[in-house]
Amino acid sequence: MFKNYLRTFWKIASQNRLFTFLSLFGISLTIMFVMILSMTVNKVVKGSGPEKNLKHILTTGRLKVRTQEKGGNEVFSQIERYVGEDYLKKIKSAEHISMFYSYTWEFLRNGIQYTTGFMVTDAEFWEVFDFEFVQGKPYTNDDLRTQTNLAVITEGLKEMFFGDVDTVLGKTIRFHDYLLTVWGVVKDVPPTSQNLLSGLFFPYALFPAEKPNPRSFSPYSGPYTIAFKANSRKEFSAIRRDVQSVIQRIDAADPKLALVLAGPNTQMENLLAVHDPEDQEGPSAKSRKYLLWGTIFLLLPIVNLMALNFARIRERGEEIAIRKSFGASSATLRSQFIFENILLTLIGGLLGVLLSFLVVALLGNTLSIPVKAGTTVPMSFSFDFLVFGIALGVCLLFGLLSGVLPAIRMARMKPVKYLKGGEI
């Protein structure tokens, strides 16, 4: 039976090449966009390189500080150093807790201007994230008790400063007014990383601790992100509860300012996070919006393919009428048409996967996808069974939804009426 279905499909596809082209073009283009978006978001959320255990990490979101008087000012930021050191790093529900911040670093070297990143971290940073050291080791709290001008660099920065040499341990790098001793070299950070930058890493203990300025509008606002690593996702609720309890205690102790902290969040929640932690539209509401827009995006090619299928049925009206006259059942005709439609969409899906690979290979370095405020990631191709399953599911959805209604209409056709000039 399926051999006959395949022969009929090939014959019809060859005879009506315009219909076949339009169907495959619409399907493959949609699948290409679905694949590229799914691959990129999946890679960002799952993590890679030093963030390969991202599913066990929570990070603090934005801190909102507002004056209590009516019409008062408010500011959004990350967290000040002493809030992390004296409060958040002391909670007991997380396995490891680290605080860090990052910026872009521009410098001249041998008359050439370079741009890279730098990260100011603590010693626990190397416990939270899984960097691969190719030389040396991470700085520890014991190391920082005797020496704070230590640095870990990525292979890319090593090449910029020292070229192709065997070892750079013990060599120095000048960062503004600080002379840092290279303590270790790690592999570069993938461009899809959301919390880390490639370049220079050094301890914030290098800078003297400053007491909060009571005259400052917000003595709690600073550049630091706090990362909490758990043994399992089951511990996330306890970590969130402890963090919010700390923020509420700080808030209650200051009658002049109101504090609200978003999170700590998973990476997916960070992608869906809103700017204001007090906003009623949280990550779940945004996810429903994205799901709605995604559904609309997928329905458009389905509706177009359905219209093409109705047109194809009209063209095959004589064939269908004759087959029904010779005893072909409605169920047989329905199953054949749905089979042909699913096969066509699967071929289009395969073309879409190949197109996504070509687009990423040719344009991946120039095209990027925004994933959170001020941050984009380049498109990337990586085979993943989850993404492949999504693409396969979308293909089957196309085939079923665009084929069922035309197949039902075809099966209900009255052969005598059609052969006398009627409509299907």
Give the model's pLDDT for residue 421.
55
Q: Are residues 257 and 376 in the same domain?
A: no
159 within a domain of the structure (yes/no) = yes
Give the model's pLDDT for residue 335.
77
Give the model's pLDDT for residue 203.
96
Q: Are residues 223 and 328 in the same domain?
A: no
Q: Are residues 122 and 254 in the same domain?
A: yes
91 within a domain of the structure (yes/no) = yes
Give the model's pLDDT for residue 199.
94
Q: Are residues 221 and 290 in the same domain?
A: no
Q: Are residues 163 and 308 in the same domain?
A: no
Give the model's pLDDT for residue 255.
85
> Helices (DSSP H) in 201-329: which residue ranges?
236-253, 267-272, 283-315, 317-325
Give the model's pLDDT for residue 127.
96
18 within a domain of the structure (yes/no) = yes
Q: Domain count of the chain?
A: 2
Q: What six digits make up the tokens of 253? A: 């102790």
Give the C-alpha distances (Å, rounded to integers) separating 96 from 70, 127, 159, 227, 308. Answer: 40, 7, 32, 8, 57
Give the model's pLDDT for residue 283.
56
Give the model's pLDDT for residue 393.
75
119 within a domain of the structure (yes/no) = yes
Last residue of a domain, one of 236, 264, 292: 264
- pTM of this structure: 0.72
The beta-strand segments (E) located in 155-278 are 172-175, 178-186, 199-203, 221-222, 225-229, 257-261
Count H helices, E strands: the chain? Answer: 13, 15
55 within a domain of the structure (yes/no) = no
Q: Are residues 219 and 303 in the same domain?
A: no
Q: Are residues 40 and 13 in the same domain?
A: yes
Q: How far apart are CA 49 and CA 130, in angstroms?
A: 7
**Cβ-contact 267, 44 below 8 angstroms:** yes
Q: Are residues 354 and 225 in the same domain?
A: no
Strand partners, 108: 113
328 within a domain of the structure (yes/no) = yes
Helix (H, G, I), strand (E, B) or coil at 102: strand
Residue 35 CB neighbour total at 10 angstroms: 25
Q: Which domain holds residue 226?
A: 61-264
Q: Are residues 81 and 9 in the same domain?
A: no
Q: Are residues 336 and 214 in the same domain?
A: no
Give the model's pLDDT for residue 92.
93
Give the model's pLDDT for residue 137.
95
152 within a domain of the structure (yes/no) = yes
Show the low-confidence residues of the chain (pLDDT under 70). 1-15, 68-72, 210-217, 273-291, 294-302, 304-305, 308-309, 311-318, 328, 364-388, 390-392, 395, 398-399, 405, 409-424
**Cβ-contact 93, 163 below 8 angstroms:** no
Cβ neighbours of residue 200 under 8 Å, at least 6 residues apart? 105, 116, 117, 118, 119, 151, 152, 153, 154, 157, 173, 175, 180
Give the model's pLDDT for residue 86.
92
